[in-house]
Amino acid sequence: MQGSEDVLSESAVPPGAAGSVDVTGTVRVFGPASLSNLGPGFDAIGLCITGIGDVVEARLDAAPGVRIEAIEGDGGVLPTDPACNTAAVAAQTVLDALRVEQGLVLRICKQMPNGSGIGSSAASAVAGAWAANVALGRPLDKEDLVQAVLSGEQIASGARHGDNVLPALFGGLVLVSASDPSRYRRVRLPKALPIALVLPEVRVFTKAARDMLPAQVPLRDAVHNAGELAFLVDAFHCGDWETVGRCIMQDRLVEPVRATLVPCYDAVRAAAMDAGALGCALTGSGPALFALAETAAAAEQIVEAMVDACGRTGFAARGIVTSVDPDGVRVV
């Protein structure tokens, strides 16, 4: 495991980074999707996944600040005001920390639906921050960008949650403090983990799903979740996917409440288990559900069953077979 409490501050700025930077051309950065909560780990754990994410292109500009040139794939719903856009806010935080004179022009290509539960806003935030860093010549490491990506995520969710944005930044499995998301630990997984992911055509926004949660919970349920999260983390570390699958279905605090927002939840979860899944749960606030499989071939069968079940409830869905992305945000 690795731990860090790094923040993006003036102490992180390399000597000579401030002022004018002579870097030309356009950089293209991929911000991957992520799964969060993973059953009992509300706001405390997230997993970066392959095959889906957002792309941000950036180029330096003579005018200071960040400007959004275009957003594609969002259906016209995302703000182009840089003060209200996750990618732009994260990029601006990098510019401010490095004290450069130039600005940045962004083009954002959304390749995942908003309000899906797989970290759409987080993917854009990490892509914006990393694109700014790369355009400026890579003066910062990923560890130096934690506060920048948290600032971007705050624009979308209303708070500095790290359970999507930090896995998207670093890759792999990340544990994060819910009270201080600049505290995190990265857990290296010992082997591949096939994942079946279903994206129903139902939109659930994080803030609304968070507002519906109870302010107080029974002590016995809190203790239950704490124990299951402990087993979950150890099972991930050991590569015990059967135990991971069992643990992700043990949440008593959050998923039972949020499942009411996803009309196909019960049918999809039952279909996944009938098809041989090791476990199935909501990711984030939903509506996306993920299931763990023993092999990639099994994941193909499971995702087909999940999509079919979703259709039988009257909702179209997109199915994806994915796995753990160990690298996180990167240039493409």
Annotated catalytic residues are 153, 206
Give the list of residues 6+ apart from residue 132 with CB closer than 8 angstroms, or none: 58, 66, 90, 91, 92, 94, 95, 104
Q: What is the DSSP secondary structure assignment for residue 143, as one 8-state letter?
A: G
Distances from the Cα of 292 to the Cα of 91, 229, 309, 324, angstroms: 34, 17, 17, 11
Q: Identify the residue whose tokens are 């392959």.
A: 50
* DSSP code per residue over 87-141: HHHHHHHHHHHHTBS-EEEEEEE--S-TTSSS-HHHHHHHHHHHHHHHHTT--S-
Instruction: Give the relative orientation of helices 146-157 and 120-135 as an angle to the nearest 10 degrees.
Output: 140
CB 184 within 8 A of CB 166: yes
Q: Where are the alpha helices (DSSP H) in the chain?
A: 86-98, 120-135, 146-157, 165-170, 206-211, 219-238, 241-247, 255-258, 265-274, 296-312
Q: Identify the residue whose tokens are 């914006």.
A: 128
Measured torsion, CA atoms of residues 149, 124, 155, 47, in degrees rounded to the nearest 10? -60
Return the bridge partners of 59, or none: 26, 105
